[in-house]
Amino acid sequence: MRVQRLDHRSAPEVTDAVDLSRIESLIEKYRGRKGSTIPLLQGAQDEYGYIPREVFNHLALRCGIELSEMYGVATFYAQFRLQPVGRYIIKVCHGTACHVQNANKITDALVEALGVADGETTEDRLFTLESVACLGCCSLAPVMMIGEETFGKLTGPEAVKIVKNIRIKENEARGEDAPSI
């Protein structure tokens, strides 16, 4: 069932400071409009990358939507996240075409290389690994998407190499030596 996607008990408590003024214009746009729960949550997620607890409270207060209703909606749809995500979200396609072309191997290789389970974020908050239903690039199967870029006809080692290169670039940008992943 859909809500099983969630497991917060094991998730670490997030203590990021949340600047609520960033969603002021969003609230102004949708407040009082019927059917606005989903656009409000989508807008908030666009702003913060996930929906922090404070934002739920704030939206409830400002827009008069019940907390329980918002939580129900947020946990129903696959799109919403209640935990912060990495700078890069790696979406590994597990559509039918990718499945028959062995998408599991891509996920397995990335799980091993990144040291996180499917759906989790690396400790340095650089990568979040996700499985998605279908990216619609079936002819390039197996496929993964990082940011806006899609990588097709992958193998496990190739996928790991792509991710490794991103990490090296990021570390260079920060002037650190690249640790192995």
Partner 1 sequence: MPRQSEPMEKTKVIVGLGSCGIAAGAGKTYEKIRQLRESEGLDFELKKTSCVGMCYREPLVEVIDESGTYLYGEIDEARAIELIDKHIVNKEPVRELVVQSDLFDTPDQEFLGSQVKIALRNCGYIDPESIEEYESRQGYASIRKIAEDGISREQVIRTVLDSGLRGRGGGGFPTGLKWRFAFNAVSPEKYIICNADEGDPGAFMDRSLLEGDPHSVLEGMIIGAYAIGATGGVIYCRAEYPLAIKRLRIALNQARAKGYLGQDILGLPGFHFDIYIKEGAGAFVCGEETALIASVEGERGMPRKRPPFPAEAGLWGKPTNINNVETWANIPWIISHGPEAYARYGTEKSKGTKVFALAGKIKRSGLVEVPMGITLRDVIFKLGGGIQKDRKFKAVQMGGPSGGCIPEHLADTIVDYDSVNATGAIMGSGGMVVMDETTCMVDVAKFFLDFTQKESCGKCTFCRIGTKRMLEILIRITEGQGREGDIEKLEVLAQEIKNNSLCGLGQTAPNPVLTTLRYFRDEYEAHIRDKKCPAKVCKQLLTYTIDPEKCTGCMVCAKKCPVQCISGERKQVHFIDQEACIACGECFSRCRFDAVIVN
Which listed residue (35, 64, 175, 179) binds partner 1 by CB under 8 A? 35
Q: Output 144 or 163, the one with its CB closest to partner 1.
A: 144
Give the whole-angstrom CA distance, residue 2 versus residue 179. 37
Check binding of 73 to partner 1 (CB under 8 A).
Answer: yes
Strand, coil or helix: what is 103?
A: helix
The edge-to-edge listing of strands for the beta sheet with 127-132 is 127-132, 88-93, 144-146, 149-151
Cβ-based neighbours of 88, under 8 Å, separated by 6 or more: 126, 127, 128, 146, 147, 166
Residue 13 near residue 43 (C-beta atoms within 8 A): no
Sign of CA dihedral 107, 156, 99, 145: positive
Check binding of 4 to partner 1 (CB under 8 A).
Answer: yes
The region of 49-57, 91-99, 118-126, 159-167 touching partner 1 under the rule CB under 8 A is: 91-99
Q: Output 21 or 139, the one with its CB closest to partner 1.
A: 139
Report in angstroms how near the CB of residue 156 gets to partner 1 at its nearest. 9
The region of 19-27, 115-123, 139-147, 169-177 touching partner 1 under the rule CB under 8 A is: 139-147
Which listed residue (26, 51, 90, 143) binds partner 1 by CB under 8 A? 143
Cβ-based neighbours of 159, under 8 Å, separated by 6 or more: 92, 106, 109, 110, 144, 151
Q: Output 76 or 178, the one with its CB closest to partner 1.
A: 76
The region of 10-18, 51-59, 74-82, 163-171 touching partner 1 under the rule CB under 8 A is: 74-82
Q: Other C-beta atoms within 10 Å of 142: how many?
A: 28
Give the whole-angstrom CA distance, residue 67 versus residue 70. 5
The region of 8-16, 37-45, 48-56, 160-168 touching partner 1 under the rule CB under 8 A is: 37-45
Q: Output 46 or 172, the one with its CB closest to partner 1.
A: 46
Residue 31 near residue 70 (C-beta atoms within 8 A): no
Q: Which residues bind partner 1 (CB under 8 A)?
A: 1-5, 34-39, 41-42, 69, 72-73, 76-80, 94-97, 99-101, 132-141, 143, 150-152
